[in-house]
């Protein structure tokens, strides 16, 4: 993993933090390949960024609800 950062990854001892950082890195690579740009792109307005964030948040809520219903069904 080649990440520019202000911390020493050798000093990160929490495997959960390392796993999440790795997932962010991998997701970034997929996004760059898919959209041919990074999140530093300048072609979206603040409102467009907010709309993207809202859309992603709404999807997240749907995933949570689906899992809650699955959990509820399993505990019957």
Q: Are residues 31 and 50 in the same domain?
A: no
Does residue 3 form part of some domain?
no
Q: Are residues 30 and 48 in the same domain?
A: no
Q: Are residues 71 and 49 in the same domain?
A: yes
Q: Kindly tell me if the per-residue pLDDT of 57 is higher than 80.
A: yes
Residue 23 belongs to what domain range? 9-41
- Among 15, 17, 39, CA closest to 27: 39
Contact criterion met (CB below 8 Å) for 28 and 3: no
pLDDT score at 56? 97
| Mean pLDDT across 58-68 | 98
- Mean pLDDT score of the chain: 90
- Residue 21 CB contacts under 8 Å (≥ 6 apart), including other chains: 1, 3, 9, 12
pTM, whole model, 2 decimals?
0.69
Does residue 20 form part of some domain?
yes
Q: How many domains does the chain have?
A: 2
Does residue 4 form part of some domain?
no
Q: Confidence band (pLDDT; 50, 70, 90) for 12?
A: confident
């Amino acid at each position: 993993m080649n990440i520019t950062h202000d911390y020493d990854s050798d000093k990160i001892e929490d495997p959960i933090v390392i796993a999440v950082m790795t997932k962010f890195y991998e997701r970034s690579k997929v996004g760059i390949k898919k959209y041919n740009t990074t999140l530093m792109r300048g072609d979206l307005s603040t409102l467009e960024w907010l709309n993207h964030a809202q859309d992603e948040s709404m999807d997240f809520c749907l995933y949570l609800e689906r899992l809650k219903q699955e959990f509820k069904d399993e505990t019957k």
